[in-house]
């Protein structure tokens, strides 16, 4: 089965090269383009303050994060969880840059480009010249943004999973998933199967319509009275 992981992070600022750190990481698991319900989520102690603007975005204070695990505490679990799966990220350069900076601090192998699918690139190709932020894409696909006044890594990963499925034509996959889920709650003999229905139903043949001679002659006279009638041309 094709396993994909949709990842989002929240950080103390915009530039990992200036010492900014990951403070939240959220991952949503997909298999064969369907959500499994599996996820990976941690708040992390960055051992530093967030920039004021960054904290306004994610709402995570230093006080809230002080007693959380450090990235080094969950690094092995993170690597084990992602394994060799494809990774779905929106604006991959940002998140992958931060993740790899954290892995480098732990003297661990970093993520490589072959693992990454960047939904920002997919969206730019599909919506040329249009805004392709996560919010904009959610609005384009009528994905509910309720509660996103404050960003959250797991919340945004779930939103991105929905956007990704839409970008790759996954609305049908999502519909199939919903139908399958509903059917799983029904007794087997109550599950409707369209293929079986088409195979087993008796199709009644159409009855031939009978036209009496008077009606036929009236119709023929009407047709022949039409100037340049196509029927005259066919007859000739």
What the block records as the tokens of 186 is: 């029904």
Ordered by start, the domain boundaries in the chain are 3-184
What is residue 202's predicted lDDT score, i.e. its pLDDT? 45
CA 146 to mean position of chain CA atoms: 17
What is residue 150's predicted lDDT score, i.e. its pLDDT? 85
Size of the chain in residues: 236
What is residue 100's predicted lDDT score, i.e. its pLDDT? 98
CA of 109: how far to CAs of 9, 80, 100, in Å?
19, 12, 8
Mean pLDDT of each 10-residue bin along the chain, 236 residues long: 94 96 98 96 98 95 97 98 97 97 97 96 96 97 89 96 92 48 45 42 44 59 58 49
What is residue 205's predicted lDDT score, i.e. its pLDDT? 42
Treating both helix axes as pointing N-terminal to C-terminal, what angle do 119-126 and 153-167 enclose, rounded to 10 degrees?
40
CA distance 66 to 68: 6
Overall pTM > 0.75: no
What is residue 213's predicted lDDT score, i.e. its pLDDT? 62
Q: Is 20 a catalytic residue?
A: no
Give me the architecture of the 3-184 domain, per CATH. Answer: 2-Layer Sandwich (3.30)
The catalytic position among 58, 90, 151, 219 is 151
What is residue 218's predicted lDDT score, i.e. its pLDDT? 63
What is residue 148's predicted lDDT score, i.e. its pLDDT? 83
What is residue 35's predicted lDDT score, i.e. its pLDDT? 95
- Strand ranges for 132-201 from DSSP E: none
CA distance 133 to 156: 12
Give long-range contacts, CB 8 A cutoff, 24+ apart: 132-141: 134/90, 134/159, 134/160, 134/163, 137/163, 137/166, 137/167, 138/162, 138/163, 141/166
DSSP 8-class letter at 188: G
Phi-psi region of 19 (alpha: psi -120 to 50; beta: other; left: phi over 0): left
What is residue 124's predicted lDDT score, i.e. its pLDDT? 97
């Amino acid at each position: 089965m094709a396993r994909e992981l949709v990842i989002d992070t929240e950080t103390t600022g915009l530039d990992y090269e200036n010492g900014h750190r990951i403070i939240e990481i959220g991952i949503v698991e997909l298999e064969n383009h369907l959500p499994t319900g599996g996820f990976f989520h941690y708040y992390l102690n960055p051992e530093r303050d967030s920039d004021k603007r960054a904290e306004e975005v994610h709402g995570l204070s230093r006080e809230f994060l002080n007693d959380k695990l450090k990235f080094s505490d969950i690094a092995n679990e993170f690597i084990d969880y992602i394994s060799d799966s494809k990774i779905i990220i929106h604006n991959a350069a940002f998140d992958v840059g931060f993740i790899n900076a954290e892995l480098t601090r732990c003297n661990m192998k970093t993520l490589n480009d072959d693992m990454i699918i960047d939904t920002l690139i997919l969206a730019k190709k599909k919506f040329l010249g249009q805004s392709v932020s996560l919010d904009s894409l959610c609005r384009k696909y009528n994905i509910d943004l309720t509660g996103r006044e404050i960003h959250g890594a797991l919340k945004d990963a779930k939103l991105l999973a929905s956007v990704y499925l839409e970008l790759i034509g996954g609305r049908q996959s999502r519909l199939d998933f919903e139908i399958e889920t509903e059917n799983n709650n029904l007794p087997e003999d109550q599950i409707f199967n369209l293929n079986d229905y088409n195979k087993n139903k008796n199709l009644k043949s159409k009855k031939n319509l009978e036209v009496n001679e008077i009606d036929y002659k009236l119709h023929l006279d009407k047709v022949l009275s039409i100037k340049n009638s196509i029927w005259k041309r066919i007859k000739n």
